[in-house]
Amino acid sequence: MFDSIKEYVIAFFKSRLFVLTAVIMILFGILLQRVFVLQIVNGEEYLNNYVLKIEKQRELKRLLLFFCAETAESLPAAYNSRSAPFHVVCVRV
């Protein structure tokens, strides 16, 4: 019985199936190592970079806002003195 198991093991190590199994196991080990490094070691850095990529900076136009009454008088509701070109928006009350 021991001899038949020994012959089977020797035949397996001499076959092409052993080479294929060894290559698959090595590739699986490399894959596990890469996933560990990407997720556990560098995961927080990649997450922070991803958050920065999905947030887009937009510059808003400066507005001069007026409350437009029925009379000819318009009262400024908001005013930004640093901005030279103004966009006027009237809000009916």
Nearest 5°: the CA angle 28, 34, 40 is 125
Classify burial at 26, counting beta carbons within 10 Å of its beta carbon; exposed 0-12, middle 13-18, buried 19 or more. Answer: exposed
Judge if pTM exceeds 0.85: no
For the residues 71-91, what does the mean pLDDT come to? 52
The pLDDT > 90 percentage for the chain reads 37
Calculate the average pLDDT of the chain. 75
Q: Which residues contact 64 (CB under 8 A, 6 or more apart)?
A: 76, 78, 79, 80, 86, 87, 88, 89
Band (pLDDT 50/70/90 cuts) for residue 91 is low
Structural domain boundaries in the chain: 2-54, 63-92
pLDDT tens digits for 14-59? 999 999 999 999 999 999 999 999 999 998 888 887 766 666 667 7
Closest CA to 74 of 87, 82, 63, 65: 65
